[in-house]
C-alpha cells in the first residue's frame, strides 16, 4: 500500500473514532429491534365469518333440498354483499307449505302493481311468491285467510309476507311473527272473502269487513 493511501486511511479512522466518541454517530446494534406498530394477534374470527357467509349462501341441506332464505338471512346477505344461491329464493310451487315470517305495514298509496293499497293484500318477494297470485296464510295453527300478492318492499325479501293494515299502531303491535304460506293454484284462485279472515288477529280490519258485507247485502 502506498504512503498516500495509508495517510488517507489513518485520517478516516481518526474521524470515525471522533464521531463515535462524541455521539454524532452510533454503530448498529444487532440486538436492537424497533417496533413500528403494536403486535397484531390473529384470531379465528375471519374463518368463522367465512363459515357464516357460506352457511347463509348455501342454507341448510335438508335431504338434498335447499331451505329458502329467511327474511333475516336475506337481509344479511345483502348487507354482506353475498351473491346468494338462486335455490335459496326458488319460486313457490302451488300447494307447497313454506315457513315464513309475518309482518304488517300501513303505507298509503299504490302497490307495485299500480293499485291502491287495501285490505286483503300482502307484499312479498316476487322471486318466491309471484305478483298477482294468491297465498293462504297461517300463523301458528290459525288460518289468517287468503291474500293477494299485490306489492313488494325494499326489505320484504326472502321467505316473508308483509300484510297491509290501515292502522300503523296495529302494524307496530303485530311485530314479526312466524307462520306458513301456501301458494294457491291458478285453477283454485278466487277473490278472497273478507269474512273468512281471522279478523280477531287483525282487529282493525273487522270494521272494514263489516262495511263490505253490509254493502254486499244491499
Q: Given its phi and psi angles, is residue 18 left (phi above 0), alpha (psi -120 to 50 degrees) or beta?
A: alpha
| From 30-39, 58-67, 134-143, 169-178, the region with the lowest mean pLDDT | 30-39
pTM metric for this prediction: 0.62
CA distance 67 to 61: 7
Tell me which H or E stretch contains 142. Answer: strand 142-151
Read off the pLDDT band of 124 (50, 70, 90): very high
Check: CATH 3.20.20.370 for 91-217?
no
Closest CA to 158 of 95, 61, 76, 51: 76
* CATH 2.40.40.10 residue spans of the chain: 91-217
Per-residue pLDDT of 40-72, as tens digits, reads 444 444 444 455 455 555 555 545 567 999 999
Read off the pLDDT band of 29 (50, 70, 90): low
Q: 116 pairs with which residues across the strands?
A: 110
Other Cβ atoms closer than 10 A to 217: 5
CA distance 160 to 163: 10
Question: Looking at residue 214, what is its pLDDT?
Answer: 56
**Which cell numbers hold the place of 47?**
374463518
CA distance 125 to 181: 13
**Which cell numbers hold the place of 208?**
272494514
| From 6-10, 12-16, 24-28, the region with the lowest mean pLDDT | 24-28
Amino acid at each position: 500500500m502506498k504512503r498516500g493511501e495509508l495517510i488517507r486511511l489513518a485520517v478516516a479512522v481518526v474521524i470515525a473514532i471522533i464521531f463515535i466518541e462524541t455521539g454524532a454517530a452510533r454503530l448498529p446494534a444487532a440486538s436492537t429491534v424497533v417496533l413500528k406498530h403494536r403486535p397484531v394477534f390473529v384470531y379465528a374470527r375471519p374463518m368463522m365469518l367465512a363459515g357464516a357467509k357460506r352457511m347463509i349462501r348455501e342454507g341448510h341441506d335438508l335431504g338434498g333440498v335447499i331451505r329458502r332464505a329467511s327474511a333475516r338471512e336475506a337481509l344479511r346477505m345483502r348487507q354482506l354483499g353475498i351473491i346468494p344461491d338462486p335455490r335459496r329464493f326458488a319460486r313457490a310451487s302451488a300447494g307447497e307449505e313454506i315457513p315464513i315470517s309475518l309482518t304488517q305495514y300501513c303505507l298509503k298509496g299504490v302497490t307495485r302493481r299500480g293499485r291502491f293499497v287495501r285490505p286483503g293484500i300482502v307484499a312479498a318477494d316476487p322471486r318466491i311468491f309471484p305478483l298477482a297470485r294468491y297465498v293462504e296464510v297461517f300463523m301458528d295453527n290459525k288460518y289468517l285467510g287468503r291474500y293477494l300478492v299485490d306489492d313488494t318492499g325494499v326489505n320484504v325479501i326472502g321467505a316473508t309476507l308483509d300484510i297491509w293494515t290501515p292502522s300503523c299502531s296495529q302494524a307496530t303491535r303485530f311485530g314479526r311473527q312466524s307462520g306458513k304460506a301456501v301458494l294457491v293454484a291458478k285453477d283454485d284462485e278466487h277473490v278472497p272473502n273478507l269474512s273468512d279472515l281471522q279478523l280477531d288477529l287483525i282487529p282493525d280490519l273487522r270494521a272494514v269487513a263489516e262495511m263490505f258485507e253490509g254493502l254486499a247485502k244491499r
